[in-house]
Every structure is written in C-alpha cells, then in structure tokens.
Amino acid sequence: MSKTAKAERTGSSKQKVSSKLENRAVTLIYCPLHLGGPHAGVSMGPAAVKVARLVSKVEALGFKVHKQVDIPVPDVLYWWEKSGKVAHCVPEIRDVSLALSKAVEAALDDGTVAVTIGGDHSLAIGSIAGVSNYYRKRKEEFGLIWYDAHGDINTPATSPSGNVHGMPLAVSLGQGDERLTELLGFSPKVKSKRCALIGVRDLDRAESELIDESGILPFSMRDIDEHGIVKVTRQSLDYAARGVAGLHVSFDLDVMDPDVAPGVSTDSRGGLTYRESHLTLELLADSELVRSIDIVELNPARDVRNQTAELAVELVQSALGKNILY
C-alpha cells in the first residue's frame, strides 16, 4: 500500500514513528517504590522491565535514550496492617517523591519524554509534582490521563487501609496529608478539570463520592463497554488536554484484565483487553501531546514468565507512537 493510500485510509499523513520522531529522546527513570502498600514484589518491577529489553525496544522506534536514572528507595521494614485515618510510610514516600520529582523535571528540562517505571502507584505523587513544577515555571498547563481499576483518590480520612498507593490522585489534586500535597511548596499539582480517569471498576465505599465531587472526568469499565475505548479516549482528551502544553499519562497495569496482565499487585477482573490498552495509548500518542509517562504496579512475583513486564514495554512503545502499518 502506498503512503498516499495509507493517508487516505487513515485520514492522516502521519509517517512511520522511526522517521518522524528520529530526533526525539527519552529519559528512563526507574523507581522501585514499594512503600505505598503491602505488596513488596513491586520493587522488582523496574528490573523485570529491563530484562524485557525496554531500552532496545524504545530505540527501535527511533528514540534516543538520553539518560537512565535509578531512584533510591529506602529498605524499610514495616509491619503492614490495615488501619483507617492514617497514611503509612509518609516520610519515606515523601523523600522518594522529592527525588523522583526532580528527576522528572530534569528530564523535561532536557527536552526528553520522561518515562517512569515502577514501583507502586504512590510514585505518581513525585512524577506529577515534577511535571507540574516544570509547566508552572513556564506558566503553562498540562493534562493528566489516569488509567486504573481503582480510584486512587482516597485520603487518610477515607482510606480503609492507610495505603498511600490508594491516594496519589487525591494528593495530586491537593487532598490528603500535607507532607505530600505540599511537596515542592505548592498545591494542587494538577487541576481537576485537566484530569480524566479511565477503567475504574473497583472503588472503596467513599471513592465514588470523592470522584463525583472532585471535578475529574471518570470512565468506568461499563462506560467503555457501552461506548468503546475510542470514544472514551477522545472524550478524555477533549476534557483534559484541550489547550495544554503537554500530557502526563499514568498507567496502572491493573487497569487491564488479569488474563492479559497477571503480574500486578491488586488485580480486578473485567478490565481492558490487550487491544483496548494499546489502542487508547496509540490515540494519546496521535495527539502529539504526551511528554511524560508512568507505568506502575508491575509485580514480577505474581507474573507468568515475565509476561506482564514484556507487555509493559509494549505499552510504552504505543504511548510513544508505535503504529502497525504507518
């Protein structure tokens, strides 16, 4: 098929990623944060993604790997017990978040796409803080597309467990423990009208009300079943990304069905399929706004032959603009 025919078929003159983005670069940031919950296996996520050849797969798209950064995480012995009205390991998570925020902001300052590999989803506190500080200094705004089976919008006052990996979206919106919300000296890190939440299906009792009150745009799996991932993704972009300078994508692998992604800490049946997951990220890449990405909650201790780690690498490729035919 000729390039002209491809353009007519797709309604686009977009060329192959390797030629169009040959001057683009990424910074790969590895953050083995495991303190947001009791699932210690997530600390092995970055190592599993390295084994799945993340660097060579990114380079195959025509991207230069500008830098690889390892974020230190304290080896804390903690007795995990569900308890409400608290947030566990806040001082340690704050320190990691500060280091991560600086690494992400530096990656954007260098003109690269910041790709953070986790680690549990509490790392988004740091990555979003870094993104926010970058755009704040430039008096620009960014949008946030958050993929998750869960709301991650609990606060210490509403969380039944006290696990911070269930709070990062709330923290980024300015709600929760001030030691986290005030990271880098300002709050909120992102405006609710710039946020879309895709794939939720397992919410704590209070989270539905918190989401409704927050002003973010949520899409449950029923919404995706009824309307399709293409419409949901485009509506998310219309809501969160209109007029912004960049887009941050925070992708929790448990948004996918566990039949597809078994190696996660808190799986929930009925999630996105393999193709839905790739397609939604491909659509975000088509917007040419993606400047920073989180891939989180990979748990190799629960994986099957590194299947989910390999999938995580494929998803990074799709978010960076890999296409099948053109």
For residue 183, what are its two tokens?
């990271």
The H or E element that residue 56 is part of is helix 54-59
Q: What is the DSSP letter of 261?
A: -
Catalytic, 297? Answer: yes
Catalytic, 88? Answer: no
Catalytic, 209? Answer: no
Would you give the distance in Å from CA 58 to the centre of its chain? 17
Catalytic, 34? Answer: no
Catalytic, 213? Answer: no
- Residue 95, annotated ligand binder? no
- Residue 75, annotated ligand binder? no
Q: How far apart are CA 28 and CA 23, in angstroms?
A: 16
Which member of 148, 177, 202, 310 is catalytic? 148
Which member of 39, 88, 121, 248 is catalytic? 121
CB-CB contact of 59 with 319 (8 Å):
no
Catalytic, 254? Answer: yes
Catalytic, 150? Answer: yes
Which member of 105, 120, 207, 252 is catalytic? 252
Which member of 105, 254, 282, 310 is catalytic? 254
Q: How far apart are CA 266 and CA 96, in angstroms?
A: 22
- Residue 254, annotated ligand binder? yes
- Give the Cα-Cα-Cα angle 253, 256, 262 (nearest 5 degrees): 75
CB-CB contact of 128 with 248 (8 Å):
yes
CB-CB contact of 104 with 71 (8 Å):
no
Phi, psi of 68 (to 5 degrees): -120, 130
The radius of gyration computed from the CA coordinates of the chain, to the nearest angstrom, equals: 18
Catalytic, 278? Answer: no
- Residue 148, annotated ligand binder? yes
Which member of 34, 39, 88, 165 is catalytic? 165
Q: From 83, 68, 99, 102, select the one nearest 37 (Cα to Cα).
A: 83
- Residues catalogued as catalytic: 121, 148, 150, 152, 165, 252, 254, 297
Point out the annotated binding site for Mn(2+).
121, 148, 150, 152, 252, 254
Point out the annotated binding site.
121, 148, 150, 152, 252, 254
